Amino acid sequence: MSLQSHIDALRERHAELELRIAAEDQRPKPDSEALARLKVEKLRLKDELERLRSVAMAAAGA
């Protein structure tokens, strides 16, 4: 898997998590534990995306 395809896959997963978080949050009684897990996972993906973007930028400049 190329770096760009990995970044694209992570972006897709991040977008899916946004939708799941919004859906859970709209429920009459949202599951706060589920929301917390989803948000932590979303932040982890965001951090990984930023790291990979930095790698990609460094590789492009090299």
Please list the pLDDT of the chain residue by residue as tens digits (62 residues): 788 899 999 999 999 999 999 999 999 999 999 999 999 999 999 999 999 999 988 888 86
Q: How many domains does the chain divide into?
A: 1
Contact 50/1 with Cβ under 8 angstroms? no
User: Quick one: pLDDT at residue 13?
Assistant: 97
User: Quick one: pLDDT at residue 56?
Assistant: 87
User: Quick one: pLDDT at residue 60?
Assistant: 84
Contacts (Cβ under 8 Å, ≥6 apart) of 34? 24
Contact 3/56 with Cβ under 8 angstroms? yes
User: Quick one: pLDDT at residue 59?
Assistant: 85
**Domain membership of residue 19 as a residue range:** 3-61
Contacts (Cβ under 8 Å, ≥6 apart) of 37? none
- Gap between the Cα atoms of 44 and 62, Å rounded: 27
User: Quick one: pLDDT at residue 62?
Assistant: 65
